[in-house]
Each structure stands twice: as structure tokens, then as C-alpha cells.
Structure 1
Amino acid sequence: MNLLHRKLCSSGKWADYVAEELPRRLEGFELGDNVLELGPGFGATTSVLAELAPKLTSLEIDDASVAHLRAKFGDRVTVVHGDGARMPFEDNTFSAVVCFTMLHHVPTTALQDAIFAEAHRVLRPGGIIRATDSQLSFWFRLLHIGDTMNVLDVSTLPDRLARAGFAEVEIEHVPKQIVTFSAVKSG
């Protein structure tokens, strides 16, 4: 992340927005007893999820963010340093996998697809993936100058999730703003 992006995502204003918005994005979804969060960054989403999930594990690739999250959440959240494209978890472990506003930081579509496949692998049968991510706009592009920005292509997302093994794919899309999606691991 570039400096401007880091300042925004670590701000109290962003944390307040997430605290208000995230519960709405999760309405109607049963996360179950053991939730995996991918790419928590500064932990704004983690703060909300820690109140909703009986057991929460957060997987973060950035060393500094891992240290920050461990200090912030202590034993309330299990923070694991690792890569979402090669998750260090057993098959069929989690009741839900969630990720919020992080997939555009994954540099290639192939790595995003590897994350989808790994999410499917670590989910229990009947488990869900629930995610949101920003869509391309002028302001979003400005925020990412000198930063990784690989926006999800909504038109290919259903097929990509199906190739990872998911069923019951649902997508909500507001062009130039946000895409929200969910899918279920059959079985």
C-alpha cells in the first residue's frame, strides 16, 4: 500500500465506517463457529468480526500488520502470518471464509483464483465465502497510484468461483463502487 492508502485504512474514520457498514454486508449470512478472515490489514474488519464470531482466525501476509494485529487483539483473535494462495490450514476447518476490500491488492487474477481455491479447500462442506471489494473509479484509481490494484472483473467472477468448486454463487454489483459476493462449498 502507498502512504495515502495506509493512512486512510489505519484511520479512525475508516474504522467507524467499517463498524457501521460491515454488519449490513453480513446480514442474512450465518458465519458459524469458526471464521477465517483473509487480509485483515490494520484490523478494522477484524474488530467487527471478533464480536460476531465465536472463533476468529485472521490470515495476513504483511509482517508489520501481523505484529500490529497480534498486539491489538491478543488472544481474542488467532492471527496467522501466511499467504491466502497457500493457506497453512487443514482441509474442512472453517465454517466461513470472509475477506473485505483486499482482493484488489492481489497482483494477478491467477493468485486471486488460488485464494478462491484455497478458501474452498479450508471450508467445511456447507461453509460460505462472503467478500466485498471495491470497483474501478477515478477516485479509487487515484488512491492506488504506485500501489497494487487488480480490480475483480464481475463478469468472470461466477465462473472463477465455480472453477474453485463453489456453488450457489450470488453477486451484488454497484458499478464504480463495490462488488459483494457469496458462495457455498457443496457437500
Structure 2
Amino acid sequence: MTSMNQRHLTFLASPEWAETLRTRLLPWLRETGELGDDVLEIGPGPGLTTDLLLELVDHVTAVEIDADLARKLAARLDGSRAEVVHGDATTVDLGSGRFSGATCFTMLHHVESPEAQDRLFARVCQLLRPGGVFVGVDSVASDELRDFHVDDTYVPVDPGTLELRLAAAGFTAITVVSPPGEGHFRFTARRPRD
């Protein structure tokens, strides 16, 4: 089970974070241009990233493990092209080979262990259609982020090992980019076309 402190939750729903996502994440997502028509979002939290995805794709299935966050997001997005599912993305029944794309944005470090992260990667590969793309962004470990995550689940992903971990989960065409000085990394990976 993952957890987030109240300060963290408040920040993730803030106008400042929304603006950061709009100016930094959205252009990159537009550049990838390959998410397709039916996208899985893992760990949307308050849903600011879901809002951006709805600008780009026909349908989003957002899987949120926190019951309260899932309930609030489902109520806010009721009647939209998004479906919010409360559950653990590694176990919830979503239909293998269903999604054209999958995303996770600054949530991997909230998964409780490297082994659980690896199970998530393998499950995402299974849920994608052949040729489907998996894209994500996460933070690079730092003392400042560790302090921000007091009482949170905080298990940073090493971008230096991510390519091997995604390959072990079944992905190909993997890229991991960690822009110097920006404190985050981005990745893309693809389920093989079989």
C-alpha cells in the first residue's frame, strides 16, 4: 500500500503543480504522439495529469490505489471520457492487451519496493496491445525529496537501471532520459508487436 502526507497531496492538487505539468509534461507528451485511443494511467492522484491526457486521447482509464483519491477523481470526472478505477494496477482486472498506451507520472517512487515496481512494469506490458507504448516521468532521488516525503512511501527509481528493469518486464525500444539539473527522468518503452 502506498501513502502520501497531506503536504504532498495538497501540492499535487495545486495550481502551481498544474502549471508545471502544462508547461513541462504536456509538450513532451505531444512530442511522443503515440499514446493512441485507449490509455491507461497509473496513479493519477488528484487527476491533474488525467486532465492533460484527456486533451490528447479519446479515453483514459485511471487506476488509483487510494480509495479517497479514486472516489474524488471519479466524481470530478463523471460524464467525461475517463473511467476511474480504484485498485492496485498490478492486480485489478483490466483486460490483457487492451490499451494502446500506458502512463505513470511521478508515482513510481510511491510503489513500496523495487520488486513491486518490477511487478507493475510486467503488468503494464501485459495490459498493452502489441506495439503499445508505456511513457512516464519520475523524480531523481535527492535529500530534498526525501524530506518532502516524510511519512510517505518513498522508493526512488534509479534511472541508470530502469532500462534493464523494463527490458526484464518484456519491453523493447526503451529510452530513458535524465536531463541534467532538472531533477527528473523520462522514459518510453514499447510492448513488442509479437
Conserved in 2, the CA contact under 8 Å of 1:85 and 1:112?
A: no
TM-score, structure 1 normalization: 0.96
Cα drift, residue 51 of structure 1: 1.3
Structure 1 regions of 5+ residues with no counterpart? none
Which amino acid in structure 2 is aligned with residue 42 of structure 1? P
Select the residue among 9, 14, 17 that pairs with 1:14: 17
Given the alignment, which residue of 57, 64, 69 partners 2:68? 64
Distance 1:119 1:148 in 2: 21
1:145 and 2:150 matched: yes
8 Å Cα contact 1:19/1:44 also seen in 2: no
Question: What SS is found at the alignment partner of 1:156?
Answer: helix
Partner of 2:102: 97
Identical amino acids, percent of aligned pairs:
40
**Whole-Å separation in 2 of the counterparts to 1:175 and 1:3:** 30
Distance 1:2 1:171 in 2: 29
Tell me whether 1:88 sits opposite 2:77 in the alignment.
Answer: no
Equivalent residue number for residue 191 of structure 2: 185
Please give the secondary structure, in 2, of the residue aligned with 1:150: coil
- For the residue of structure 2 that corresponds to 1:78, the secondary structure is strand
- State which of 92, 110, 117 in structure 1 corresponds to 2:122: 117
TM-score (norm 2): 0.92
Q: Which runs of 5+ in 2 are unaligned?
A: none
- Deviations along 1:116-159, one digit per CA (max 9) or x if unpaired, are 00100010001000000011123211111121111101222111
Runs of 4+ in 1 over 2 A off after TM superposition: none
Instruction: Name which of structure 1's ranges 14-23 and 61-70 shifts more when overlaid on structure 2.
Output: 14-23
SS where residue 31 of structure 1 aligns?
coil
**Aligned equivalents of 2:54 and 2:22: distance in 1?**
11
Mapped contact 1:87–1:118 kept (Cα < 8 A): no
| Mapped partners of 2:178, 2:92: distance in 1 | 28
Paired position in structure 2 for 1:78? 83
Which residue among 15, 33, 36 is the counterpart of 2:37?
Answer: 33
